């Protein structure tokens, strides 16, 4: 069994490759919930839905958000009646979110995800990192912002001075999942707002120390492939490089995968982690995703 720690863009690309290379029933994906909140009356767990849709081949993988070929009739109608919503939620995607909201009247988030994964015919497990909502604030040069306001309203433009999030309890299963896994893959996700929240959960670092952990750098050269990861890393005084990513995970990391363009950083990364793999990590087509997944699987002892 292999556990994967995931956010909502970089790691799902890798999941598209992994599910072609190994039997998906071998995968348990632990997903970030830091950004979860209610929007326009529905519970939005964007990263979880992205992982569910990715594994079900439904994902809009241009945006890494929502269902491919979705329509936006309700979104536009909400705007027309003077009730615009911050997130652009598609009609089919909204149905998933309404279902999750209704399920959560009866069950916790983990159970709601389990039911939805089953409905989508998935054989892998998808577990939210926590059933509790986090309080996340992006401290910027224009003031303290809610995460989605920073990301969407302000298009990640403000200078970031700090990132703060509250402590939440892990979903109980996660420690067992990690303890029983042959390896844990930390996908190329935002180290600060996707992975740090998961590894900050009580007991996770101790569990990670007892298994083989292999991470892929979301940073190539001195920048992120996409999104605001560099800004967040800079704000927390983490070097914006594969070296900085390795240093964040150094307590438990066994193998680090860095991009071919970072070959010159291999020695420095090797001072932090035992094994360094240099390969193409840009996943812009299915072959690249499968190749990277294959290399990772082959390097699990
Ligand atoms: P979020 O939840 O949407 O922020 O998504 P994630 O946290 O899963 O992923 C964001 C990170 O994925 C960014 O820091 C990107 O640099 C990284 N990323 C996206 N695509 C790729 C890729 O093809 N290769 C690598 N190495 N990193 C990627």
Write out the chain in H/E/C secondary structure: CEEEEECCCHHHHHHHHHHHHCCHHHEEEEECCCCCEEECCEEECHHHHHHHHHHCCCECCCCCCCECCCCCHHHHHHHHCCCCCCCCCCHHHHHHHHHHHHHCCCCCHHHHHHHHHHHCCCCCEEEECCCCCCCEEEEECCEEEEHHHHHHHCCCCCCEEEEEECCCCCCCHHHHHHHCCCEEEECCCCHHHHHHHHHCCCCHHHHHHCCEEEEECCEECCEECCCCHHHHHHHCCCCCCHHHHHHHCCCCCCEEEEEHHHHHHHHHHHCCCCEEEEECCCCCCHHHHHHHHHHHHHCCC
Domain residues for 105? 36-128
Query: How remote is the CA of residue 190 from the centroid of ligand 1, in Å?
Result: 6
Query: How remote is the CA of residue 236 from the centroid of ligand 1, in Å?
Result: 18
Task: Divide the 301 residues of the chain into consecutive groups of 10 and give the mean pLDDT of each group.
Answer: 97 98 98 95 97 98 97 98 95 98 98 98 98 94 95 95 95 96 98 97 97 98 96 97 98 98 98 97 98 97 92
Instruction: Provide the domain count of the chain.
Output: 1
CB contact at 8 A, 195 and 166:
no
Is there a domain that residue 101 lies in?
yes
Question: Which neighbouring-strand residues pair with 257?
Answer: 216, 277
Is there a domain that residue 250 lies in?
no
Predicted pLDDT of residue 195: 98
Query: How remote is the CA of residue 106 from the centroid of ligand 1, in Å?
Result: 33
Predicted pLDDT of residue 267: 97
Q: Whose CA is nearest to atom 21 of ligand 1?
A: 10
Query: How remote is the CA of residue 225 from the centroid of ligand 1, in Å?
Result: 6
Domain with residue 104: its CATH number is 1.10.8.240
In ligand 1, the atom with minimum distance to the C-alpha of 195 is: 7
CB contact at 8 A, 20 and 67:
no
Predicted pLDDT of residue 72: 98
Mark 140-179 as b/e (b = at least 16 C-beta within 10 Å): beeeebbbbebbeeeeeebebeebebeebebbeebbebbe
Query: How remote is the CA of residue 191 from the centroid of ligand 1, in Å?
Result: 9
Distance CA 54, CA 134 (A): 24
The owner of tokens 């935002």 is: 190
Is there a domain that residue 116 lies in?
yes
Is there a domain that residue 72 lies in?
yes
Candidate from 32, 189, 222 with most ligand 1 atoms within 8 A of CB, to mutate: 189
| Among the listed residues 72, 71, 85, the one whose alpha carbon sits nearest the alpha carbon of residue 40 | 85
Q: Whose CA is nearest to atom 14 of ligand 1?
A: 190
Predicted pLDDT of residue 137: 95
Predicted pLDDT of residue 151: 93
Is there a domain that residue 75 lies in?
yes
Candidate from 34, 62, 147, 190 with most ligand 1 atoms within 8 A of CB, to mutate: 190
Predicted pLDDT of residue 48: 98
Is there a domain that residue 29 lies in?
no
Q: Whose CA is nearest to atom 27 of ligand 1?
A: 218
Other Cβ atoms within 10 Å of 211 Cβ, number? 18
CB contact at 8 A, 261 and 221:
yes
Strand pairing category for 183-186 and 160-165: unpaired
Predicted pLDDT of residue 104: 98
Is there a domain that residue 92 lies in?
yes
Question: Which residues sit with their C-beta closer than 6 Å to ligand 1?
Answer: 7-11, 13, 47, 188-190, 194, 216-218, 220, 224-227, 229, 281-283
């Amino acid at each position: 069994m292999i556990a994967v720690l995931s956010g909502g863009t970089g790691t799902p690309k890798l999941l598209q490759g992994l599910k072609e290379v190994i039997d998906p029933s071998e995968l348990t994906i632990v997903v970030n919930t830091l950004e979860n909140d209610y929007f326009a009356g529905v519970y939005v767990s964007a990263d979880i839905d992205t992982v569910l849709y990715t594994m079900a081949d439904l994902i809009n993988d241009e945006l890494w958000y929502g269902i491919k070929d979705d329509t936006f009739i309700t979104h536009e109608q909400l705007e027309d009646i003077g009730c615009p919503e911050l997130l652009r939620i598609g009609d089919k995607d909204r149905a998933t979110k309404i279902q999750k909201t209704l399920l959560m009247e009866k069950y916790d988030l983990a159970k709601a995800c389990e039911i939805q994964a089953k409905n989508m015919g998935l054989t892998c497990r998808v577990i939210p990192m926590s059933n509790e909502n986090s309080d996340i604030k992006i401290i910027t040069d224009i003031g303290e912002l809610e995460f989605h306001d920073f990301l969407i309203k302000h298009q990640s433009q403000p200078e970031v001075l700090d990132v703060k999030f509250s402590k939440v309890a892990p979903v109980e299963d996660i420690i067992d999942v990690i303890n029983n896994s042959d390896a844990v893959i930390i996908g190329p996700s935002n180290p600060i707002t996707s992975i740090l929240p998961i590894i900050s959960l009580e007991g996770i670092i101790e569990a990670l120390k007892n298994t083989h952990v292999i991470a892929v750098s979301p940073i190539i050269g001195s920048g992120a492939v996409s999104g605001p990861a560099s800004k967040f890393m800079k704000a927390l005084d983490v070097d914006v490089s594969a070296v900085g990513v390795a240093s964040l995970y150094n307590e438990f990391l066994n193998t680090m995968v860095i991009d071919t363009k970072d070959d010159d950083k291999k020695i420095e990364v090797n001072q932090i982690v035992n094994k360094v793999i240099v390969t193409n990590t840009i996943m812009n087509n299915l072959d690249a995703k499968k190749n990277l997944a294959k290399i990772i699987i082959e390097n699990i002892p």
